[in-house]
Amino acid sequence: MKFNYKYSGTSSIVNGTSSTGVSFAPDILREPTYFVGSLDKKLPFREAISALHEVVVADFNFQPKDNSEYLAWLKNEETNWIAEASAELPKIKYEIRQLQGQLKGLREQREEITRPYYKSQKEYFKYIYTRDYAAWLVLDPVITVHPDQVFFECFSKDESVYGKLSCGLDVFNNINEFKCGTTNIDYSQKLYNEFQKIRTYKDTEFKIDPKGFDVQTSGEESYREVKIDLPDSWVRGFLQVSSAMTSDKVSFDLHPIDIANFIAVLKRNKEKKGPRAIKYILKPGQPILAVFEPWNIEVACLQSIYTGNEAKEIRVWGRRRIQLLERLLPITGKFTVHLLGTGMPSFYIAHLANDMYFTLGLSGWTANDWSQATQLDLLAPRGKVPATTMQSIYLELRKDWLNTEKGIATKLNLDVQTVKQSLETFTQAGKVIYDLKNEVYRVRELKREGIDLEELRFSSSTDKEAYQLMENGEVRNLKSEVQNDKIEVTAVVSNSFKTTVVINKDLQITDGKCNCNYYYMNKMTKGPCEHILATRISFDKK
C-alpha cells in the first residue's frame, strides 16, 4: 500500500541558552493540522517521546549468528573435497590442481576489482545506520490533535509492539492555536538526539508548524516529497490494535517497582529453553504474583493487590519487550495492565505526569505480530449497517472528535450495538481508534486518501477460506442456545467438522471448539480456525 507525504522543510529543534524550540514539519497533503504551545512538563515529555522512539527502532526477532564468512569458505573448499575424493586418479588430481590454480588466480583478480566497491558499500550502510537511522525505518510516526489531547502513534520495526504517547492539554502552557486532525510528521534520528537536550530550566516551545500549510507561489523547492510503499501487514497491524483494545480483558494495576523487578529478573537471567513466559497468578484480595518460567522465579507484587472477583492464571510470552518501559520508570505513578488471555496480546499503560500516559501494546509472541497470527480482527462483530446510518454516526463522532458508543446512540436515537458495529467498521478502515485508558472512540484517519477495505479484506487465508465455506453453503445444522449472558452456536462444517462457538453479549467470540487439526494444535491462541469462523459468520448472516 502506497503512502505519499509532502513535508514543508524538515522537523527541527533549536537549542539556546535559555530556550528550546521544537518544530515538527507536518504532511501538507493532508487537511491542515497544527498545534502551537509551550511545554510545561518538560522532562516527562522528553523521556516519554524517547521511549516512543525506542519502540520505533525495536526489533525483537531472533537474530541468527552471521555465518556468511564460514559459508563462503565452505563453498570455496568444496572443490578441494571433491578432489580428495578422487585422489586415486592421479591424472584427474593433476588436472584439478591446475584448474584450482587458475581459479585461485581468477578469484584474486575478482577480489582486487570488487574490493573498493564492497568497502564503500559497507561504509555507506554503516554511515546510514549510525548517522541517519531514519533511512532504515518504514513509516513516520502518526500524530493526532484532539480538543483534549495530542497523541503520537508508532509501530516497532518487527511489527510486534505498538506505542502511543498521549499528552493532555495540561502538559502544555500558553496554547496559542491548534486545529484538530491527523498528520504524519517528519521524524529522524537527528531529531531524537536533539530531544535529549530538553532541560527544565529552558522554556520549550512545542509546535506542529502551521506555516507548512500556507499557500505559497514561490519557494516550492523547500517542500520535500516522500513516497513509501508499505507492506499490507504494517497497515493491517495499525488497524487491528483497536480491535484488541475492545476485546474482553483482565485488568489490574502494578506499582513501578514491580515493573522494575520484572526487568531486573530478565536482565539477570537468560533462558536456554522454554517455556519463556510470565505466569500471572491473580487471586482476589491478594498481592499479584508473577512467575518467570522456565526458572520459576516468583516476584510478589506486595503493593499491588488484585481487585477482581475471580481467581485467574494467565501466561504471556515475548516478555523481554517489557524492557521498553524501563526509561519511563522514574516518571511513572502506576502501570495499568490489560491481559486478553493466555497467549494473547497485552497492554501496559504508564500513567505519567498530569494527563500524560504511554500505552505499550504487545502481541501474543514476539514473532506473532499484530498483522499475522493473532487475527484479532476475526473476533470483532461482523454485522452490516446501512451506509446512511454509518455516515450519520461518523459525522456525529467528528463533531467533537471523540465520544462513546452510548453517547452517539443517545444523540442519534440509535441502538448501541448498531453504533458499536459501525465504529468497529470505521476502526478496520483506519478512520477511528479506540482509546483504551479513557474508553472512548476517537477520529484518527490513518491515510489521507482512505484505505481500500477490499484490498485488506482477507487478512489471512483462514479468513478467506471461512467466507468461501459460508458462501458455498458448507455450514449445516446450525443451532444456537442462550446460556446466561452468552450464546452457544453449534454446526457441522463440510460434513466432517463439528464446531462450537461461544459468543458474548457484545457478539464477540470468547471460546470455540473444533475437531480439526488446526484447533488441536493451537486451540484459540492464534485465532479461530476457518470452520469456527465460518460457523460464526453463518450465525451472523442468520
pLDDT by residue (tens digit) across 224-263?
A: 445 455 556 666 666 777 777 877 889 999 999 999 999 9
Q: Could you say which DSSP state residue 246 is in?
A: T
d(CA 208, CA 190): 17
Q: Given this model, what pLDDT does residue 377 score?
A: 52
Read off the pTM: 0.71
Q: Could you read off the pLDDT of 480-501 as tens digits, one per residue?
A: 998 877 889 999 999 999 999 9
Q: Are residues 109 and 127 in the same domain?
A: yes
- String of DSSP letters for 367-430: SS-TTTT--GGGGS------HHHHHHHHHHHHHHSEE-HHHHHHHHT--HHHHHHHHHHHHHTT
250 and 360 housed in the same domain: yes
| DSSP character at residue 26 | B
Q: Are residues 50 and 81 in the same domain?
A: no
Query: Quick check: 168 and 356 in contact, CB under 8 A?
Result: yes
In a domain, 510, yes or no: yes
- 457 closest CA partner among 539, 541, 378, 391: 378
Quick one: 196 and 129 in the same domain? no
- State the total domains in the chain: 5
| pLDDT digits 0-9 by tens, 255-308 | 999 999 999 999 999 888 777 889 999 999 999 999 998 899 999 999 999 999
Distance CA 135, CA 298 (A): 42
Same domain, 349 and 252: yes
User: Which residues constitute the domain of residue 28?
Assistant: 2-58+142-150+165-230
Residue 134 has pLDDT above 70, yes or no: no
Residues in a beta bridge with 295: none
Give percent of the chain above pLDDT 70: 76
Residue type at 232 in one-letter notation: D
Strand partners, 475: 493
Is 536 a domain residue? yes
Residues 73 and 183 in one domain: no
Sequence-distant (≥ 6) Cβ neighbours of residue 479 within 8 angstroms: 489, 490, 491
pLDDT in tens, 389-415: 988 999 999 999 999 999 999 999 999
- Shared domain for 398 and 416, answered yes or no, is yes
In degrees and rounded to multiples of 5, residue 357 shows phi and psi of -145, 155
36 domain-assigned: yes
